[in-house]
Amino acid sequence: MSEKKYFGTDGIRGKVGGSLMTAEFALKLGRAAGVVLGRLSPSNTILIGKDTRISGYMLESALEAGLSSAGTNSLLLGPMPTPGIAWMTSSMHASAGIVISASHNPYYDNGIKFFNADGEKLSDELELAIENEIDKDFATVSSEKLGKAKRVDDAAGRYIEFCKSSFPRQKSLAGLKIVLDCANGATYHIAPQVFSELGADVTVIANKPDGLNINADCGSTHPQILQEQVLETGADLGIALDGDGDRVLMIDHYGQVIDGDQLIFIVAKHLHKNGKLNGGVVGTLMSNQAMQSGLSDLGIDFLRADVGDRYVHQLLRKNNWYLGGESSGHILNLDLATTGDGIVSALMVLSVMIKEGKNLKELADEIPLYPQVLINITVENAKTLAQHKDVVSLSTEIDKVLGNDGRTLIRASGTQPMLRVMVEAKDENLAEKYASELVSLVNSLWKN
């Protein structure tokens, strides 16, 4: 298969005003998407949703114009969580869905990603077909064939009802005091209603987006203020979403962060106990070794995919399993949604809490994570260094010493010129020692 020119591990992403995140490129991309994706269903209609970045206005307009030039209709959803756009694409029988978002990145970045008619990420073949079309001369269909655009006014309301439907009808969140961090992102007008309408006493923070404050010292990548709020208000827990609403981390009543690995384990253990897990669990190369060991002790199969939710999704589909995700809080339950959904994932955990009669800390304590040391090294030749014989040799040697009590992982970032060095061990001092040795070796190699 050919190497992709524009698409990365999660759509196309970059700094606004750079080579990719411009009105000109979005116009070409819109036309290409219309040509390749528009005819995949009889509706010849593609949905466009976005998060709250100021650049979303520019990119939305350009994509709409590009789709129209290809003869494809567009439905504009406005600010919507990524999983909401995926669900709406399938629900409205559209040809495809477009998400304008850079997820957890700062406001000055943006991205464009796609869902097929089933609300799932595009195949590599379709992404390559779009890339091929982008590089062709821009052409516009005749006037009578131009696509039309229309705004969908009730998109948020529809998605709120979908989220609520994922929670057991006979249960309620009444009696739970929750602090909710919307990251000044796409869930700001949706998540508060979902949790409050299900009965929770909800305090909301970071729900006043201004186009520039998305993910700024808030959300799942910056949970410190949420931790403080949980303690100050005496809340039962906190919920931290990210800018586009596909990730979630949770905070227990002691202010401790409960990450994606712990949340997946909590749900997996409960489903397994009740005969509803349907197979095993898929994590990634970054998933904590404690989760794998804990699942193994329960007799639950565990597989690691490459980093990125699309690879977790592919492995789940291949094995006909439902549950998987990443440490970052990107959790998939394909029995409920086609992609990672922060709100639905939080509701899954809250459902387990209520059914088990345990608080979040009690559930999380059932999987004590191994200490993990992750060091990022900025280098241009990250892939080459990751495969260097001396780096591989030292990593293998450390793995042998750690045995089942830890592991190493050396990998090049898929989105940045960066080498990630990670060491896990039951003994934190050992993890720090071995990570330092690996980083020293990498630094000596690339500087010489």
The residues annotated with a catalytic role in the active site are: 103
Rounded to whole angstroms, the Cα distance separating 393 from 111 reads: 37
> In whole angstroms, how far apart are CA 312 and each of 88, 231, 295, 309, 321?
22, 34, 17, 5, 10
Q: What is the DSSP letter of 3?
A: P
Closest to 244 in 3D by CA, of 85, 123, 46, 96: 85
Sign of CA dihedral 333, 338, 339, 340: negative
Q: What is the DSSP string of 430-445?
A: HHHHHHHHHHHHHHHH
Rounded to whole angstroms, the Cα distance separating 286 from 405 reads: 15
**Within 13 Å, how many C-alpha atoms sit on residue 272's CB side?**
20
User: How many Å separate Cα 106 from the centre of its chain?
Assistant: 15
- What 3-state DSSP class applies to 222? coil
User: How many Å separate Cα 21 from the centre of its chain?
Assistant: 20
Sort strands 257-258 and 237-241 into parallel, antiparallel or unpaired. unpaired
Q: What is the DSSP letter of 135?
A: T
* Cβ pair 281, 301 in contact under 8 A: yes
Dig out the tokens for 418 from the structure.
């960066």
Rounded to whole angstroms, the Cα distance separating 186 from 51 reads: 5
Quick one: angle between helices 155-165 and 342-356, nearest 10? 30
Dig out the tokens for 333 from the structure.
């339950």
